[in-house]
A = this chain, B = another copy of it.
Amino acid sequence: MTTEEALRVVPRTAGAGELFQLLRDGQPRTRAELAAVTGQARSTIAARIDLLMASGLVAPAGATTSTGGRPPATFAFNPDARVVLAVDLGATHAHLAVTDLASTVLAELEAPISIADGPDVILGWVAQTGEELVRSSGRSLEDLVSVGVGLPGPVEHSTGRPINPPIMPAWDDVDVPGVLSTRLGASVLVDNDVNIMALGEHRTEWPGVSDLLFVKVATGIGAGIISDGALRRGAQGAAGDIGHVAVSDRSEVPCRCGNLGCLEAIASGQAVAQQLAAGGLEASGSNDVVALVRSGDLAASRAVRQAGRDIGTVLAGCVSLLNPSMIVVGGVVASSGEHLIAGIREVVYRRSLPLATQHLRIVASRTGNRAGVLGASAMAVDHVLSPEAIDALIG
């Protein structure tokens, strides 16, 4: 939730949970300032601040300057009060982080995994490794209030269960929150990996942008939609699945989904690697493509630029439909330099209406490979710091 939204939803009669939203921006405030913003009585504010202080979520923030007499006390959000575990699981790679309640990373770890090993093996490993990571950050499991998890497939966000996930069929309908919350003793939120990347990039780098499209270009291609300031997941949690949109004039290329000419079959890191391998280069995946481009290989640079154009064809339609003010391009292939984004820009600016592109920026991800864990952390923190959760905690 942005500060603007927080201010908007605080009615004059709001309880401690809503009052706390005002403080989430980290700025120290006096009781008088809080009374002025909310229109609540000083005595009411004082009582609620006492409750929040007792929970540890709010702490004294030192004295403010004053023209004389005893300086008024200020209070601020204390993000150190608890920690969350952020888990970003890919097909072959895991990234775990322990963060405070402001999503500042306290400890992190990356490891190779095989998601195909199934939920028993992988979630067991996540629970054990997560617990060790919490301890290595100097905290205990008692401090862990929530876990955010990103998975490489469609997830029903309300239940945290994967739905027919193509690259991890053994995970279908598995109660991921149930398994992890039993092991770790904390609430567990689960979402698609591209959604949490979009959330991580948005919260960390572009919190003031209300309409943003995050595009991940890696082994596959997917998008996460921020609209009116919030992540939009669609009816089944499948929003943003642009990898299987048909690209014009290329309908002969078969895709693993069974259709022809899908974007992912033409422009993903995997597809570009296959194209380069067919041309005699040593490339079996996205990382090889990136290495070839970085080494100055012309064929690889050209192929990545063309992939950018094909992605741009699909993104031009997304721009017309959603009118974002920013497209952020992330994923391994985006780290190969400017070729990918140059190709995307070329087509999007040519194919979209002037009104939609007038203020449109197309930029590379700034959070890089941390986008996922930052988003998983933000999702978990939002859950435990919501007005309802705070009221339940201190009520």
A320–B18 touching, CB < 8 Å: no
Stretch at the interface among A120-128, A175-183, A242-250, A265-273: A242-250
Given A239-B321, A249-B249, A251-B249, A15 contacting B15 (CB threshold 8 A): no
Q: Which residue of B lies closest to A257 (CB)?
A: B353
B228–A232 touching, CB < 8 Å: yes
Stretch at the interface among A83-91, A103-111, A322-330: A322-330
Q: Which residue of B lies closest to A153 (CB)?
A: B355
| CB proximity of A325 to chain B, nearest CB, Å | 4
Q: DSSP majority for the A interface?
A: loop
Stretch at the interface among A72-80, A196-204, A310-318, A337-345: A310-318
Given A13-B13, A18-B11, A322-B321, A316 contacting B237 (CB threshold 8 A): no
A232–B242 touching, CB < 8 Å: no
B-facing residues in A2-24 (Cβ within 8 Å): 9, 11-15, 18
| CB proximity of A2 to chain B, nearest CB, Å | 15
A64 at the interface (CB under 8 A from B): no
A238–B323 touching, CB < 8 Å: yes
**Of the candidates B227, B238, B249, B360, which one forms a contact with A355 in the assembled complex, judged by CB atoms under 8 Å apart?**
B238
Residues of chain B within 8 A of A228, CB atoms compared = 230, 232
Given A154-B355, A241-B323, A324-B234, A246 contacting B317 (CB threshold 8 A): yes
Interface string of A214-231 (1 = CB under 8 A from B): 000000000101011010
| CB proximity of A175 to chain B, nearest CB, Å | 19
A351 at the interface (CB under 8 A from B): yes
A131 at the interface (CB under 8 A from B): no
Complex CA distance for A341 and B11, rounded to whole angstroms:
46
Residues of chain B within 8 A of A247, CB atoms compared = 248
A242–B11 touching, CB < 8 Å: no
A227–B236 touching, CB < 8 Å: no
**Of the candidates B235, B241, B259, B350, which one forms a contact with A210 in the assembled complex, judged by CB atoms under 8 Å apart?**
B235
Residues of chain B within 8 A of A354, CB atoms compared = 164
B164–A316 touching, CB < 8 Å: no
| CB proximity of A168 to chain B, nearest CB, Å | 14
A173 at the interface (CB under 8 A from B): no
Residues of chain B within 8 A of A233, CB atoms compared = 323
A61 at the interface (CB under 8 A from B): no
Between-chain CB contacts (< 8 Å), 18 pairs? A12-B15, A164-B355, A227-B234, A228-B230, A228-B232, A234-B323, A236-B323, A236-B359, A239-B322, A239-B323, A244-B320, A246-B316, A246-B351, A259-B351, A314-B317, A317-B317, A317-B318, A321-B322
Measured CB to CB, the residues of A under 8 A from B are 9, 11-15, 18, 154, 163-164, 210-211, 223, 225, 227-228, 230, 232-242, 244-249, 251, 257, 259, 261, 313-314, 316-318, 320-325, 350-356, 358-360, 387
